[in-house]
Amino acid sequence: MNIWIVNHYANSPDAPGDARHFSHARELIRRGHKVRIVACSFHYLTHRESLPESAGWWEERVHQGVPFTWIRTGGHEGGSFRRILAMFEFSLRVAGRGWAVGLEPPDLVMGSTPHPFAALVAERISAHYKVPFVLEVRDAWPYVLTEVGGHSKFHPFVQLVDRTMRFLYRRAAAIVMFSKHSTALLARYGADPKKIVWIPHGVDLGLSPKPRPAPDDGVFTVSYIGAHNQWNSLDAVLDAAKLLQGWGVQDVLVRFVGDGVCKKALVDRARTEDIRNVRFDDAVPKMRIGDVLHESDAFIINNRRDGVSRDWMSFSKLYEYLAAGRPVIFGSCTENDPVRESGAGISVAADDPLALAESIRFMAGLSPRELAAYGELGRAYIESNYSISVLVDRFETMIGEVTGQKLPADCLKGVAARA
């Protein structure tokens, strides 16, 4: 089967950020499918353009056997207006289909919604080729605009997004969502629950090797590795580090690895408030994330205490933490709690610096054997439930249903796709 995936922010493994579609595509190709990813060549974390000027406005590259078509835009820097402009620019250039000349027509097109306009173009491409369209809902638009951004539901852009998403929900043969508990939320905005398929974030175990011991350097390092943005409420983690420092807890380091719109404010705050038990490091490419994970003794992640976190959030980084074989401290307000389900760490209330700090102090006092026991539970949980091979089983079941094509028997061995 020939599958095209349109995702403005898809990544190759040599860049920082989420590489879900690369990992899914590589596994699908291994199983005999053809997959192409159409993405923007300007990287939203590094703020760098990957295409040379000589390439024109698009270029095809193959990354570890996975074909990408990179579409050039003018970049995303310059505030909300420039980001919105880049959304339309990317979508219009994909819609032109100049990049598709000479390619074998797809059997299925999937559009992903870091923003809905790229998914709209994917739907239009599927209509052109008369093949099924699958909608992947990464961000629950327009819910995120009103709940997180604070915009009025009557704002013209919010209205445009709402109408676009409702159209996509109607047109989709299937709707992929990441969070097990979000069916009611999507239904509120027009999605048919019967179309919804739960295929969560997972871990490419090929990029996440077997756990190895943490460095024996006398410092207990608890790390946050991921985007520094408003979703992750990292001020609460910084507050926890400040509490530990005030308590006189020695030889504990809270490490922040990544980039994002909130990073500068966090760095400035740590400097201004003289919080010395923290370190800020740059984002790393996906193929190097395993090395960075194994430099830590434990991991920390925190939800915002709001409706988005409760009803929608699914943390890709959380699964990577568990796969690394380290205990995890999770500030959570969602029912979707793999840390609690696996027994691989401590779950506390979201946005509670005191609880986070007490959990770090507790973990720092455990023996290497006790820490390893937590880690073993996490790794086993990921291998059984959230490995890419398990998730692609679900994806193949779904595409077999929506296309009506009979897939090979070994493609249909997976877990039931319906939530």
Segments in the chain below pLDDT 70: 75-79, 148, 209, 306-314, 406-419
Question: Do 85 and 57 touch, CB atoms closer than 8 A?
Answer: no
β partners of residue 93 = none
Question: Residue 410: its pLDDT value, please?
Answer: 43
Contacts of 67 (CB under 8 A, 6+ apart): 35, 36, 37, 60, 61
Give 286's DSSP letter: G
Question: Do 381 and 341 touch, CB atoms closer than 8 A?
Answer: yes
Take residue 321 and report the two structure tokens written for it.
Answer: 């933490």
Contacts of 187 (CB under 8 A, 6+ apart): 193
Q: Which helix (H) or strand (E) holds 252?
A: strand 252-257
Length of the chain: 419
- Read out DSSP for 32-74? T-EEEEEEESEETTTTEE-S-GGGTTEEEEEETTEEEEEE--S
Return the amino acid letter for 266.
L
What are the φ/ψ torsions at residue 133 (nearest 5 degrees)?
-115, 130
- The angle at the Cα of 251, spanning 250 to 256, to the nearest 5 degrees, equals 115
β partners of residue 72 = none
Which sign, positive or negative, has the C-alpha torsion 44, 234, 161, 5?
A: positive
